[in-house]
């Protein structure tokens, strides 16, 4: 199977590309590294079944040759990213999704959408089943991501009803693991970075708000299972084990042996208080459920971060006093560093790698 993966240079996208190659598929990775990282796909460039295209999918999605499936993952996904890039986030959720759907339509290809648990907003129902319609502030600061994904789901379902596109929708809950950026502002990456650099771990509110953390390998297995099916869904993909933010902080401090203190800050606007998926539908229809517990997953993630000490040092200042999916991190003054990614035929493609806090327009 030949699969086009938008956002394939990102945290989740690069793991999906790798998993597809490992099982014998061919992959066309599309990314403009707005929030991705060229290093994520650098080991894949020599693979004969891997192709890279530098592309802003909000503008166009063009893939030559056969396409059997399209996995649409392109989008800023951490709040600091989408709060810095609100219009770009809306564009990739709307125009970008439509462009990816048109690619699937042209090739009669399977299409899967990486949606999000954020479509539930600050839920009034707990835990969250796919039948819950959500509690979203449509004009709040987080709405640029929430509503972009809600629109993406709506247009994907409309393409299935109108044109018969073989659409599948995954609602992804908090996912963590190697290749997360130390400065991305998510709670797991921030806690690990702060613990390893001796910075205080910053918690919003009393730390009693909950999240359900799924290790990236488990999540990717769910995406592949959805890709291989003909089901629409939507399917919640996440770990149903609920943990408080304070509990996570304690695990990270113990695992790293850090002496970092914990500091509390006021809860930001529209921050969800509780988040936990019901995954019965994914278990019964896709045969999927997470297998890696948080201790094992965090151990692997801490090892990855510890092996990239230079990145930790560069990111520590940018996340000081900010974490957990809410606060837009200040853009760093470090300029973008041009890099070269060779294409499949040996032609060089110029890209820019985002330094901590820096952004590139697009999805």
Interacting residues of 164 by C-beta distance below 8 A, sequence separation 6+: none
Predicted pLDDT of residue 318: 65
Q: Is position 120 annotated as part of the catalytic site?
A: no
The rounded Cα 328 to chain-centroid distance in angstroms is 17
Predicted pLDDT of residue 325: 42
CA distance 213 to 337: 32
Report the b/e string of 278-297 with b at 16+ CB within 10 A.
Answer: bbebbeeebebebebebeeb
* HSE-CB for 312 with a 13 A CA cutoff: 19
Question: H or E element: which one contains 126?
Answer: none
Predicted pLDDT of residue 190: 93
Burial class (CB in 10 A: 0-12, 13-18, 19+), 66: exposed
Give the tokens for residue 292: 């890696």
Per-residue confidence band for 249, with pLDDT thresholds at 50, 70 and 90: very high
Question: H or E element: which one contains 204?
Answer: strand 201-204
Give the tokens for residue 275: 């988040």
CA torsion angle for 247, 252, 257, 262 (degrees, to 10)? -60
Predicted pLDDT of residue 317: 64
> Which residue is catalytic, options 82, 120, 145, 159?
145
Q: Cβ(136)–Cβ(143) under 8 Å?
A: yes
Interacting residues of 117 by C-beta distance below 8 A, sequence separation 6+: 128, 171, 172, 173, 174, 236, 238, 275, 277
Partners of 51 in beta bridges: 28
Residues 239, 301, 214: CA angle, nearest 5 degrees:
10
pLDDT of 310 over the 60 cut: yes
* pLDDT tens figures, 166-219: 999 999 999 999 999 998 889 999 999 999 999 999 998 889 999 999 999 999
pLDDT of 10 over the 80 cut: yes
* pLDDT tens figures, 31-72: 999 999 999 999 999 999 999 999 999 999 999 999 999 999
Distances (CA, A) of 198 to 78, 161, 191, 251, 262: 23, 53, 10, 15, 11
Per-residue confidence band for 160, with pLDDT thresholds at 50, 70 and 90: very high
């Amino acid at each position: 199977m030949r699969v086009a993966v938008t956002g394939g240079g990102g945290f989740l996208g690069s793991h999906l590309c790798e998993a597809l190659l490992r099982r014998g598929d061919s992959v066309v990775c599309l990314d403009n590294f707005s929030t991705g990282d060229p290093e994520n796909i650098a080991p894949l460039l020599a693979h004969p079944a891997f192709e890279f295209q530098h592309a802003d999918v909000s503008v166009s999605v063009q893939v030559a040759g056969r396409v059997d499936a399209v996995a649409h993952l392109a989008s800023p996904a951490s709040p600091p990213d989408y709060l810095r890039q609100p219009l770009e986030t809306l564009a990739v959720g709307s125009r970008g999704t439509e462009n990816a759907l048109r690619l699937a339509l042209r090739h009669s290809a399977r299409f899967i959408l990486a949606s999000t648990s954020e479509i539930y907003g600050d839920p009034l129902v707990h835990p969250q089943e796919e039948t819950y319609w959500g509690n979203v502030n449509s004009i709040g600061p987080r709405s640029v991501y929430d509503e972009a994904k809600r629109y993406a789901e709506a247009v994907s379902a409309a393409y299935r009803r109108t044109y018969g596109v073989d659409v599948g929708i995954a609602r992804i809950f908090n996912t963590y693991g190697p290749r997360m950026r130390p400065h991305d502002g998510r709670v797991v990456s921030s806690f690990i970075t702060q613990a390893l650099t001796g910075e205080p771990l910053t918690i919003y509110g009393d730390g009693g708000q909950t999240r359900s953390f799924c290790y990236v390998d488990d999540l990717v297995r769910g995406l592949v299972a959805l890709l291989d099916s003909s089901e629409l869904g939507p399917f919640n993909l996440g770990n149903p084990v609920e943990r408080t933010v304070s509990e996570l902080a304690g695990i990270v401090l113990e695992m790293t042996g850090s002496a970092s203190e914990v500091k509390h800050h006021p809860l930001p606007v529209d921050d969800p208080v509780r988040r936990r998926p019901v995954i019965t539908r994914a278990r019964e229809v896709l045969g999927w459920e997470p297998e890696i517990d948080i201790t094992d997953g965090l151990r692997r993630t801490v090892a990855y971060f510890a092996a990239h000490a230079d990145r930790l040092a560069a990111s520590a200042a940018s996340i000081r006093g900010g974490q957990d999916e809410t606060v837009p991190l200040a853009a760093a003054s470090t300029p973008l560093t041009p890099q070269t990614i060779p294409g499949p035929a040996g032609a060089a493609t110029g890209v820019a790698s985002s330094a901590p806090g820096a952004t590139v327009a697009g999805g």
